[in-house]
Structure 1
Amino acid sequence: MKTILVVLDGLSNQVARFAMGYLHAECAQGKGHYYSLTCELPSLSRPLYECILTGVPPVESGIIHNGVDRLSKERSVFHYVQEAGLKSAAAAYHWVSELYNRTPFVPARDRHTLAPELPIPYGHFYYDDGYPDSHLFEDAESLRLRYDPDFLLIHSMNIDDCGHKFGLSSTQYRNRARMADGYLSHWLPGWLAAGYQVIVTADHGMNDDHSHGGNLPEETQVPLFVFGRAFSRHADATPRQTELCGTVCELLEVAHDKPWCQALLAEPRE
């Protein structure tokens, strides 16, 4: 089944519990389910992009801080999709391009990617943390409509950006989360009507020191929302961040060798 993975960078579950009104409303209507999970350590962005997309924790992947600027040595969702003859696309921060396509990121070459030979053949990649989430979701929808990808990654940065500027307990941080929820209310109904399975999660959370990286609950507890008929919506499922890659591969029905959370998925899957 075609799948969209939305990563809301820096969204702590502490705020997601009450700020994501639209997503919780869809769950209340039986169209999805809300879980929480604990991110791997260190609770930093580039290491956890790698973890989400490959199923490998940072201490094993070697992507242990944001300054590790090299291609991933692991098999990612993008690689499995490519090997199955399917298509991937990404509207995401440029570190994703550096992990799976080419590094270093050269904006004139890589910002708008159309390269069928690469693991992410279709992409819009940005490098400014303040790049508007509104534009990012429009970038993603343009990729979906133009290239009809089987797997689409959407990765927004504005929540994390506000957290670094103002902190977890700030009005600005909470309102950025609400804005992301609003953007999703614009796009998610159409994705579901078109038959997509949709996962919304975060890489890590945020603290009141305007940072993250450690193991405080507000840094490590992140939301996981799932939508679509392939999901079981079992309340007792206990997904792990290292299982997201394999779970996406199961949804896409592509061969993989990653751990996955069977309890998240309905059986038998259609």
Structure 2
Amino acid sequence: RLQCELPALSRPLYECILTGVPPVDSGIVHNDVVRLSAERSIFHYAQDAGKTTAAAAYHWVSELYNRAPFHAARDRHSDTPELPIQHGHFYYEDHYPDSHLFADAESLRLRHKPDFLLVHPMNVDDAGHKHGLDSSQYRNAARRADILLAEYLQRWLDDGYQVLVTADHGMNNDRSHNGLLPEEREVPLFVFGSAFSLNTAARPKQTELCGTLCELLGVAHDKPLCRELLK
């Protein structure tokens, strides 16, 4: 478990997770900042090292690292080696089914064998905004995501992937997030794979995830990382 950076909003925290830069420094300080990131992301470092990148993700990720603003006809399905996210399926409706999203990700994995693959479902957050934290809909959305992850996780591990599962932010009973409540800021972190230490004393920060993933990829970077997470 770790604590998200502030503000506890999606686009700023996508940027934080993928670049290691907190919102106050990246300038992505709310969800309506629509522009390419000015920072170096995992996608950039991997691409520079000759690795293959892919993402099945919300369209804001495309706007941060590929093209902004997002035009669905141009950007929804992307196979463009010169872009940081070389292969992508990007959705733009919050209720886009997680089942489809995981299938999109697996399709990218099987077709392109990416070294780094971002899998970014949205239905848990969507249920929270519609029904609040303490609701059966929110809990059941998380359970459905768990079932979907279970469908693919062992395949990924068998193919040699290291898997890190986390979230950008939490949710409150007002059906929102952008405050200081523990339920808005505390997010899970699960790791699977032979490269992880499983050290229970590790205390990773959200700003250290980018560097930690770059270490797993074996690519040069200048980001902070949590060495205790790794063997």
Asked if residue 143 in structure 1 is aligned to residue 108 in structure 2, the reply is: yes
Query: Does the residue aligned with 2:163 lie in a helix, a strand or coil?
Result: strand
Aligned to 2:216, the other structure's residue is in SS state: helix
Of 109, 114, 120, which residue of structure 1 is paired with 2:74?
Answer: 109
1:87 matched to 2:17? The reply is no
In structure 1, runs of 5+ residues without a counterpart are 1-35
Q: Give the whole-Å Cα distance in 2 for the aligned partners of 1:58 and 1:213.
A: 13
Equivalent position of 2:19 in the other structure:
54
Q: Secondary structure at the match of 1:156?
A: coil
TM norm structure 2: 1.00
**Structure 1, residues 228-258: CA drift from partner, whole Å, max 9, x if none?**
0000000110000000000000000000000
Aligned length: 231
Distance 2:138 2:48 in 1: 39
Name the aligned partner's letter for residue 140 of structure 1: A
The RMSD of aligned alpha carbons is 0.3
Aligned to 2:174, what secondary structure does the other structure show?
coil
Which one scores higher on RCO, CA 8 angstroms, separation ≥ 6?
1
Indicate the residue corresponding to 1:219 in structure 2.
Answer: 184
1: CA distance, partners of 2:141 / 2:60: 22
1:100 lines up with 2:65 in the alignment: yes
- Tell me how far apart the structure 1 counterparts of residues 224 and 119 of structure 2 sit (CA, whole Å): 22
Unaligned regions of 5+ residues in structure 2, if any? none
In percent, how many aligned pairs have the same letter?
72
- Letter of the 1:77 counterpart: I
1:142: Cα distance to partner? 0.2
Moved over 6 A (4+): none
1:114 and 1:161 mapped to 2: Cα distance?
28
Instruction: Tell me the amino acid that sits aligned with residue 7 of structure 2.
Output: P
Normalising by structure 1, what TM-score?
Answer: 0.85
Question: What are the equivalent positions in structure 2 for 1:1-270 lying under 5 Å apart?
Answer: 36-266=1-231
Partner Cα separation in structure 1 for residue 204 and residue 77 of structure 2: 33
